[in-house]
Structure 1
Amino acid sequence: MDSYKVVVVDDSAFMRKIITDLIETDSVFQVVGTAVNGCEAIQKITELKPDIVTMDVEMPEMNGLEALRAVMDVYPIPVIMLSGINESGMRETILALESGAFDFIRKPSASNSQDIIQVKEILLEKMHSAMQAKQRRTAWRVEEVRKKNEVVEKTTFRTNSEPVVFIARSEKTPEVKAPTRKIPQIEVPKPKHNRLNEPVKKMTKPVKPEQVIKRVVAPLPELIKVTPSAKQEEGSWQHLIAIGCSTGGPRALKELLERIPEDIPAPIIIVQHMPPKFTKSLAQRLNSFSAIEVVEAEHGMILQKGYAYIAPGGFHMTVRRSSSGVCKISISGEEARNGHRPSVDTMFESLLPLHNIERHVVLLTGMGSDGARTMKKLYDSGVIDTYAESEETCIVYGMPRSAVELKCVTHILPLKEIPNKIVRMLK
């Protein structure tokens, strides 16, 4: 087979050499060009038309994020970002994933040969996944076009001068059910912490000042009944949403969380496959546009409705019920599970004993099958509200597909429809 063409972008000549050598240890890939900054990268990509690009995040003149956005506009292809572990690099990496980057890896340490070997394995794995995902999405689009052309063939005849329309359907192709109406979008949430947002009633006759004061003051005792301590009491929420994702996850989480209303009556726990330190930047970014509060989870946190908790990179996150009945987060550094830490399977498994809570379990875009087997266990134990992102919106249709194949998914939906469905199920 022909090799895939690669362009390597990095401002360091030494790092360009290392990355090129790592890539070309696999005969499937051939580095056809390099660039020293974003401006040159755009020029090389336009000229050479590579199949995939590795892009340094921090570069002079035009950085990787700016170059990525330009590339996505003119020649959208899989781009893998190479990020440093400083705060600026992590923040830019999260923005790059939102802007269309396929995935990212941590830049290797040039002085550590073991680290270079480890980075090589991760880089090549992600590059292969990017090519497989691209081929699969192309094949899926072709199949969808074929189905549309084969399923519905309209022939118009005239009988007694009246038009009659017949729909011929191929026996080989199953009927494709399309939604009969659009699902309404959730109303834009009110600003956080704004509890005095009642509409002003038009007065029909003059009133005395003391009457106005009474009207304003009367509702206040109702508004201040909910306190932080009240939220932590057992039974203050009866629903729990658990989400697992990997490649493409940051962009998917942004799409999902920005559609979750502030008053959602459930905590949300999330495992996104990421290395240490990056999840803090991810949580801060997601919190900046979400109506709910999004935080990086810490050991011992009490789950509260209206909060989303993201597992810290490099650690497993589980839910434990205390002796007093309160659900708390547990963070541990136990061995990786199926190569993942945090692991979606580990998080989902901790939900099995929580029989008195309505659990809503979601798998979004991602490589591999993490989370699918334990979703099956939850489904078999009586959890009936399970979700998988459909292939049409997945960056990588791996984790959701594994769950679908295990026949434990009750809702297979495009990404934008998942939050609306969850909210309706909670009601």
Structure 2
Amino acid sequence: MRKVISDFFKDHPSIEVIGTARNGKEAIKKIGELKPDVVTMDVEMPELSGIETLKWIMENTPVPVVMLSSFTENGAQQTMLAMEYGAVDFVTKPGGTISLDLHKVKDELIHKVELALKIPIEKLRKHGSNINQSVKTLQHDSTIHLKEKDMITETKTTPKFQIKKWNKASDKIVLIGTSTGGPRALQHVITKLPESISAPILIVQHMPPGFTKSLAERLNHISKIRVKEAEHGEVIESGTAYIAPGGFHIKMKKNGHHYEIVLDDKEPPRSGHRPSVDVMFESVGQYAELDKIAVIMTGMGNDGSKGLMALKESGNVIAIAESAETCIVFGMPKAAIETKLVDEVVNVDKIAETIMKYLV
């Protein structure tokens, strides 16, 4: 496995593999000696728990880490914990723990390593995450050194606020879209929403099938509101957050006096994503009688910006974007801000408070 991962970068113009490690203890030692720019690490590794290895790395020699995870329930749970501890992103191994067909995710892994280089270290540190779960041990590590550092450029755009007359008594729905860095950002937001919130919440987090359930269960465990993976046909209720399952677009339909979840795995991915924030926004935008609070947080690309335009054309919408200061990747929020349709740009710690400002 370590040889296969190393070979992925053999001909890369700006990436050099400077070492590999067999376990967590060896990884910590080599990271201290070699000082890599990026590390890839398996979610199943002997000698030292992967979560403990990542925790040590982020607290002592912080470096961007991209995890490799088995497509298992336990692997998904550990991956969510890794995201909380500061891992940049993860790649799902297509063939389980010993994945002989790892070449299938070669391009994805290379892309995520390239992206990891651009993320400032201070944004990866763990921020007060309380993790008291016992975790399984972890299995492979590749330490990667990048020859040239390509600095990310962030452009600040002053939004043109377009808040319409806002009726706090009307029916409302909260829509949240996020991608890279999203699990930790969602924790910052969802855990601060009160149990009494008077609106349902639909969430698109770009994530493969199988991992969204673990994300929902983790958030439900530490939040005041109910959080669950969305199910086709279920009635949408206030005080509940519904996370779109990986591989399905999340939509909404009206049935009598209530609204129901629609999960769609037939419509193609939008901009490479299923679920897609644009698809969710466009679907909910059909219901002008609902006031919407649309939130776009950290993530690569521009998913959500086209959907935001559709939302704004169909009724009252407050649009909130996460600021460049707290985004792991200031792609999706930046694209939304550039539409000139965003009403508030705030740090992730203030998003829940900003949402509630329009609900109470």
TM range (shorter): 0.7 to 0.9
Query: Corresponding residue for 1:24?
Result: 10
Identity within the alignment, %: 46
- Flag structure 2 segments of 5+ consecutive residues without an equivalent: 124-149, 159-168
Q: Write the deviation string for residues 178-219 of structure 1: whole angstroms up to 9, x where unpaired.
A: xxxxxxxxxxxxxxxxxxxxxxxxxxxxxxxxxxxxxxxxxx
The equivalent residue for 2:166 is: none
2:293 to 360, 385, 391: 360
Contact 1:287-1:294 at 8 Å conserved across structures: yes
Secondary structure class of the residue paired with 1:409: coil
Distance in 2 between residues matched to 1:374 and 1:294, nearest whole Å: 24
Q: CA deviation at 1:389?
A: 0.2
Task: State the partner residue of 2:273.
Answer: 340
Q: Distance in 1 between matches of 2:269 and 2:322?
A: 25
Q: Is the 8 A contact 1:244 1:363 kept in 2?
A: yes
Deviation, 1:124, is 1.1
Taking a change above 3 Å as real, the CA distance of residues 71 and 268 of structure 1, as seen in their structure-2 partners, is same
For residues 132-281 of structure 1, the aligned pairs below 5 Å read 132-134=118-120, 238-281=171-214
Which residue of 2 is the match for residue 44 of structure 1?
30
**Counterpart code for 1:329:** I
Q: SS of 2:110's equivalent? A: helix
- How far 1:112 sits from its partner (Å)? 8.3
Partner residue of 2:88 out of 74, 87, 102 = 102
Give the ranges of 4+ consecutive aligned residues of structure 1 lying more than 6 Å apart after TM superposition.
110-113, 135-144
Amino acid at match of 2:325: E
- Assess, with a 3 A threshold, how the Cα gap between structure 1 residues 22 and 393 changes in structure 2: closer, same or farther: same
Q: Where does residue 335 of structure 2 map in the other structure? A: 402
CA RMSD of aligned residues (A): 2.5
User: What is the distance in 1 between the residues matched to 2:236 and 2:317?
Assistant: 22
Instruction: Give the TM-score of the pair, scaled to structure 2.
Output: 0.84
- Judged with a 3 Å threshold, the aligned counterparts in structure 2 of structure 1 residues 346 and 142 are, in CA distance, closer, same or farther, namely closer
Cα distance, 1:58 vs structure 2: 1.1
Q: Which amino acid in 1 is paired with 2:260?
A: K
Instruction: Number of aligned residue pairs: give it.
Output: 322
Structure 1 position 291 matched with structure 2 position 277: no
1:371 paired to 2:304: yes
Structure with the bigger RCO (C-alpha within 8 Å, sep 6+) is 2
1:142, CA displacement in angstroms?
11
Whether 1:92 aligns to 2:24 is no
- The 3-state SS of whatever aligns with 1:360 is strand
The answer as to whether partners of 2:252 and 2:284 remain within 8 angstroms in 1 is: yes
Cα offsets for 1:118-177 (capped at 9, x unmatched):
301111111121123339989789999xxxxxxxxxxxxxxxxxxxxxxxxxxxxx99xx
CA displacement at 1:64 relative to structure 2: 1.9
Q: Equivalent residue for 1:331?
A: 263
- Over 3 Å counting, the alpha-carbon distance change for 1:112 and 1:32 in structure 2 is closer
Q: 1:237, 1:305 within 8 Å by CA — same for their partners in 2?
A: no
Whichever residue aligns with residue 245 of structure 1, its letter is T
What CA deviation, in whole Å up to 9, does each residue of 1:263-320 have, x standing for no partner? 0000000000110111111100000010000000000010000100000011111111
1:285-324 equivalences under 5 Å are 285-322=218-255, 324=256
Q: Find the aligned partners of 1:63 and 1:119 in 2 and give their Cα distance.
A: 24
For residues 30 and 175 of structure 2, the distance between their equivalents in structure 1, rounded to whole angstroms, comes to 43
Secondary structure of the structure 2 residue equivalent to 1:303? coil
Match of 2:106 in 1: 120
Q: Give deviations 1:368-410, integer Å, cap 9, x for gaps.
A: 1111111122124343410100000000000000001111100
